[in-house]
């Protein structure tokens, strides 16, 4: 490890990192070039995020984050933060005059993830420069884009919040591993934590571990109170400010999926208790510190439980059972790492293990403040890796936290390889050092999880054809809903967003239930058209779960007297039907649907 005087990035180092970022960004844009002009976004959340920005720019209120073309007339409830919308909206506003809004959206959706990637690479590089040495900053920076789990969350067109989560998590780690200005580092880490929680509550476990780590430091050394105090107060006040700015009723309601009353109660109690950490008696007596910390922790936990007992089961504790069974439990990124497959386990857990091993070696070899810094890195890397095993999508943070440790491990192996006299061993040692520092070497393991015919992109190029239909309410599966909303003028019943779980239940129950029950739900809902992509993973799931269900029968070719085929998606496996209520349906409903149907292309022509 290099001395402190040599651990800051200079102008030349920034230039090298900038050139590496530019090369990586160019590569990623080239890889995704076919999707970019068509705005074929990687995930349903990216489509809905773009629509949220569109609606805001079109006049929807800052505090109104419902998607009103989902589950009309109520609107689809969301818990998303407007913070992520700001840079997207500013970019679109700036580029619309010279290019027009459609082109501006494509440019921003391509460039914004690359800018976020650049920030994450810079923080990872700066972290490695401080902890390992400037020569290893590029290697650590490359760990971010070439991680098997990070790339899908930070690729072009990935405009949702995942990239910003990684940036804020790395900022928190970078700040807490700074042993030179403890109060300042606590403030920076607390603000990063507050912003992270404002974007997504899934950062709470790591943020809590960080607080416990600082508390443990204080238990061992009473002089460690400044960073504990500044971290907790920055977290509490920052959360209050951000939630008030984006969701002004957050501190008056109980919402388990975002910072609200129970979280404020726990943060506030912990922050007030931290004031006492500087009392001389506590600072000088470790037994008093242990007793005080135990009482303060118990009171903070009790405050959370009393104010929001329903939140003890987690942010999804109150979700509809059918939605949990057939949606939440089957969302790949929400699965445990073991459930994702052996290939994912090797690629994700393998690099995290390299990082933790490297950090452990660094703790053993370091002395003084540097040992404390590496202890922080190791603790948070272990916590993030453990969380990844439970919720696999959090692996991007685990890999970001592993970058510094992996760089140290690579440096150690590289130096030992260079000292070997036997050429084959020297070569093998050098190769292993490269593998340890570069998670891309583990990417081939993902092929172990591939199955024949496995694909995510189906019905490509057919969504635009839905524009031929008059603006209508479509009854469609959850996953295609956001793309329908962005690409067409239509509305849908539900999308895969848990706050709208009552409408999600309606969609799932319809496609897995009997055709007669489906008829009743669809007609009562007032949907004018039914849209179904028969080979979509979601629909295949419905077919597997309910082989005699409505979706399975439609995919098998069965037709019903109340569904009139509409041929707008020529030659694709997207089925479109006009809903024609039978005699006896409410007159106003039959009349409106008949009017919509006359405006639609006829499949018999």
In this prediction, residue 461 carries a pLDDT of 65
pLDDT at 534: 86
Average pLDDT over residues 282-299: 92
Backbone angles phi, psi at 565, to 5 degrees: -55, 140
Q: In this structure, what are the phi and psi dihedrals at residue 532, rounded to the nearest 5 degrees?
A: -150, 125
State yes or no: pLDDT of 142 exceeds 80. yes
Judge whether residue 450 has pLDDT over 80: no
Q: What value does the mean pLDDT take over residues 466-474?
A: 92
Nearest to 507 by CA among 474, 485, 482, 537: 474
Q: Which CATH number fits domain 464-598: 1.10.3210, 3.40.50, 3.30.1380, 3.30.360?
A: 3.40.50
pLDDT over 60 (residue 590): no
The fraction of the chain above a pLDDT of 70, given in percent, is 93
Domain boundaries in the chain? Answer: 4-31+79-418, 464-598
With b meaning 16 or more CB within 10 Å and e meaning fewer, what string describes 223-253?
Answer: ebbbbbbbbbbbbbbbbbebbeebbeebbee
CA nearest 404: which of 468, 348, 361, 346? 361
Among 37-41, 298-302, 319-323, 424-428, which is the least confidently predicted range? 424-428
Mean pLDDT (whole number) for 511-529: 95
Q: Alpha-carbon distance 458 to 479, whole Å?
A: 11
pLDDT digits (tens, 9 = 90+) for 371-381: 999 999 999 99
């Amino acid at each position: 490890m290099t001395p402190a005087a040599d651990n800051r990035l200079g102008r030349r180092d920034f230039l090298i990192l900038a050139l590496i970022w530019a090369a990586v960004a160019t590569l990623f844009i080239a890889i995704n070039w076919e999707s970019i002009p068509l705005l074929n976004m990687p995930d349903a959340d990216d489509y809905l995020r773009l629509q949220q920005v569109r609606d805001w720019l079109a006049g929807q209120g800052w505090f109104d984050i419902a998607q009103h073309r989902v589950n009309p007339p109520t609107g689809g409830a969301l818990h998303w933060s407007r913070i992520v919308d700001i840079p997207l909206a500013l970019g679109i506003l700036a580029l619309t005059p010279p290019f027009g809004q459609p082109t501006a959206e494509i440019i921003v959706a391509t460039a914004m993830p690359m800018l976020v990637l650049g920030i994450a690479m810079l923080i990872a590089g700066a972290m490695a420069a401080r902890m390992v040495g400037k020569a290893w900053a590029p290697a650590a920076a490359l760990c971010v884009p070439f991680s098997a789990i990070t790339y899908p969350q930070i690729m072009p067109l990935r405009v949702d919040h995942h990239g910003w989560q990684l940036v804020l998590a790395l900022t928190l780690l970078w700040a807490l591993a700074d042993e030179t200005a403890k109060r300042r580092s606590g403030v920076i880490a607390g603000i990063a934590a507050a912003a992270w929680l404002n974007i997504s509550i899934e950062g709470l476990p790591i943020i809590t571990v960080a607080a416990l780590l600082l508390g443990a430091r204080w238990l061992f050394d009473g002089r460690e109170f400044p960073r504990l105090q500044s971290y907790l107060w920055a977290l509490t006040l920052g959360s209050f400010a951000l939630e008030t700015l984006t969701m002004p009723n957050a501190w008056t309601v109980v919402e388990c999926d975002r910072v609200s009353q129970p979280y404020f109660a726990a943060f506030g109690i912990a922050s007030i208790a931290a004031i006492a950490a500087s009392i001389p008696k506590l600072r000088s007596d470790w037994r008093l510190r242990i007793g005080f910390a135990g009482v303060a922790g118990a009171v903070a936990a009790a405050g959370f439980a009393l104010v929001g007992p329903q939140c003890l089961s987690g942010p999804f504790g109150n979700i509809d059972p059918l939605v949990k069974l057939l949606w939440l439990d089957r969302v790949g990124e929400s699965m445990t790492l073991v459930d994702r497959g052996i290939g994912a386990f090797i690629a994700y857990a393998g690099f995290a293990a390299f990082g933790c091993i490297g950090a452990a070696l660094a703790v053993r070899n370091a002395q003084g403040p540097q040992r404390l810094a590496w202890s922080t890195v190791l603790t948070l890397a272990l916590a993030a890796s453990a969380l990844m095993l439970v919720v696999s999508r959090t692996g991007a943070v685990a890999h970001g936290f592993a970058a510094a440790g992996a760089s140290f491990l690579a440096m150690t192996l590289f130096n030992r390889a260079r000292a070997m006299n036997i050429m084959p061993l020297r070569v093998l040692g050098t190769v292993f050092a490269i593998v340890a520092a570069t998670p891309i070497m583990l990417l081939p393991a993902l092929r172990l999880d591939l199955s024949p015919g496995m694909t995510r992109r189906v019905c490509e190029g057919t969504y635009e054809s839905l524009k031929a239909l008059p603006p209508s309410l479509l009854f469609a599966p959850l996953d295609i809903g956001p793309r329908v909303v962005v690409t067409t003028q239509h509305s849908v019943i539900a999308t895969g967003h848990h706050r709208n779980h009552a409408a999600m239940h309606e969609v799932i129950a319809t496609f897995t239930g009997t055709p007669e029950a489906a008829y009743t739900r669809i007609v009562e809902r007032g949907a004018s058209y039914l849209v179904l992509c028969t080979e979509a993973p979601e629909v295949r799931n419905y077919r597997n779960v309910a082989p005699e269900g409505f979706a399975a029968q439609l995919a098998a070719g069965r037709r019903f007297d109340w569904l009139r085929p509409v041929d707008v998606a020529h030659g694709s496996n997207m089925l479109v039907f006009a809903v024609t209520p039978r005699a006896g349906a409410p007159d106003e409903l039959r009349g409106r649907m008949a009017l919509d149907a006359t405006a639609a292309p006829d499949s018999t022509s």
